[in-house]
Amino acid sequence: MLLSGEKTSIPEAEARALFLAYDPASTFSSPEDRILLVETAADPRAVSRRIAFARRVGSLLSRPSDASATVRGRKIRFRSFAVGEQPPRHADVEATLGGLRAEVDLENPDYELTLITGRQDYLVLTVPKEMNQAWSSRRPRKRPFFHPAAIFPKLSRALVNLTRCREGDVLLDPFVGTGSILIEASEVGLDCLAIDRSRRMAYGSLSNMRAFGQEWLGVIRANAFSAPLGMVDGVATDLPYGRASSAGGAPIATVVRRAMEKLPPMIRPGGRLVVMHPSHVPVEPGSDMIAEGEHYIYIHKKLTRAITILRKT
């Protein structure tokens, strides 16, 4: 995998979570910056369709001819990327692709032979069109219902992926807001359940759901901490705070404390709670939750957001 270049631990954490979702026996190594090697039975194309913080996902090759059987008669192109301080390497494209018996197509290939150069070379067979996630089409301002606090699709998708939920699993967002997280969850085949205490937000998220042709399990107008729910497979949410938020003006420390009391009982054993919150307000897992990681996003000098991942025992 060639991870994206953001200065945060989120790209590697998201990649690991996705491969472990599809193959819990996956093993990982990171020989250099932005490179993640995975020994796995998971289909890299399934990961490609979901991942947010990566540039390429594919199968590692020893030589171009290793791709011959796969690409014969199909469309292919060649791309190169450089990581670290290494300059991009100019490869002989004709020599590289010449023996593959595939049609060269730079615009819409079925496959790409990707050369990543760092301290060593990595030759990878990828399917880049699987990673065309169309983020801009789901930006907050392109939705019928907009709120300035809405998070962007790429980060929303990462929150979904960090839960390790698979297609058909039920994902809950108890503070759904405009629906940012569940829009991305539905895009990758999860069953979605939304809660918000605000009538405006509940109806707004419902209109956004319909605008993208999605059908969630339900949008419930209720207090998330007293909603009559059974077990879900995972929870992903951006905890609200401030007077205009879905928390009704409660201090963020109070929202965090109540979330750690009320949300874990809704999650099946082994399921995960992924919660985004201001970094200055820590999340303390209860006796039935285990912290698996915490990652940070710098917003400005007065705000850094933390993403905390908890697993239900």
Give pLDDT tens digits for 105-122: 999 999 999 999 999 999
Same domain, 173 and 192: yes
Same domain, 199 and 90: no
Q: Decide if 151 contacts 116 (C-beta within 8 A).
A: no
Residues of the chain with pLDDT under 50: 243-244
Same domain, 144 and 229: yes
Which two structure tokens, joined as six digits, stand for 306? 């933390």
261: exposed, middle or buried (Cβ count in 10 Å: 0-12, 13-18, 19+): exposed
pLDDT of residue 110: 95
pLDDT of residue 245: 53
Which two structure tokens, joined as six digits, stand for 110? 């079925």
Same domain, 139 and 91: no
Same domain, 8 and 57: yes
pLDDT of residue 90: 67
Same domain, 29 and 122: yes
Same domain, 139 and 117: no
> For residue 280, what are the domain limits?
135-312
Q: What one-character-per-residue DSSP string does 100-166 give?
A: G--EE-SSS-SEEEEEEESSSEEEEEE-GGGG---GGGG-GGGSSS--TTPPPHHHHHHHHHHTT--
Q: 256: helix, coil or strand?
A: helix
Same domain, 194 and 174: yes
Q: Decide if 53 contacts 14 (C-beta within 8 A).
A: yes
Give pLDDT tens digits for 23-62: 999 999 999 999 999 999 999 999 999 999 999 999 999 9
Query: 111, 131, 151 — which closes off a domain?
Result: 131
CATH of the domain at 212: 3.40.50.150
Query: 131, 152, 167 — which closes off a domain?
Result: 131
